[in-house]
Amino acid sequence: MPRYLVNLAAASLLPLALVHPAQAQPAECSEAGSTVEMTRCVMAVLKTRDAALKQAMQTIRTEAAAMPGHHFLPLWNDTLTGFFKSSADPQVHYEQFRAARNQACVYMNSLAFQGTGFGIFVTNCEIKLTDVLLEKLAN
């Protein structure tokens, strides 16, 4: 699992561990009236964000392969596999990010509390971290 993802999560999302679920929920879930509704909603939001992330990762791979001169793609692959100990395969990279994201969010939220809202807090954290990565990939 890429260590840099855990560090990114810790640096950018630690305040989320201390926020009440109603304050941390995505705008899409503002109408949820119960814990069950909120859980279903945040899971659906995360699923949508994950689909967008998979697409963004595939787009970057396609753009890297399309770079003129055929020099960028080998350098890009070497950087991902050698330096970051990751993968240039978008599906593998996504799965590694997903595992690191979950581990970081569970850890950060377990520092603050446990309880019925724990899963919602973790999922909200995962949504926020995914949004950060989507923003970075768009730049």
pTM for the full predicted model: 0.74
pLDDT band at 42 (very low <50, low <70, confident <90, very high): very high
pLDDT band at 4 (very low <50, low <70, confident <90, very high): very low
Query: Identity (one letter) of the amino acid at 89?
Result: D
Smallest CA-to-CA distance from 53 within 90, 24, 80 is with 90
pLDDT number for residue 25: 59
Q: Which of 13-17, 19-23, 80-84, 122-126 has the highest mean pLDDT?
A: 122-126
Phi-psi region of 28 (alpha: psi -120 to 50; beta: other; left: phi over 0): alpha
Contact between residue 67 and residue 73 where contact means Cβ atoms under 8 Å apart: yes
Encoded tokens for 77 = 């692959």
Q: How far apart are CA 47 and CA 49, in angstroms?
A: 6
Q: Per-residue pLDDT tens for 69-126?
A: 777 778 878 888 888 888 888 899 899 999 999 999 999 887 766 667 888 989 999 9
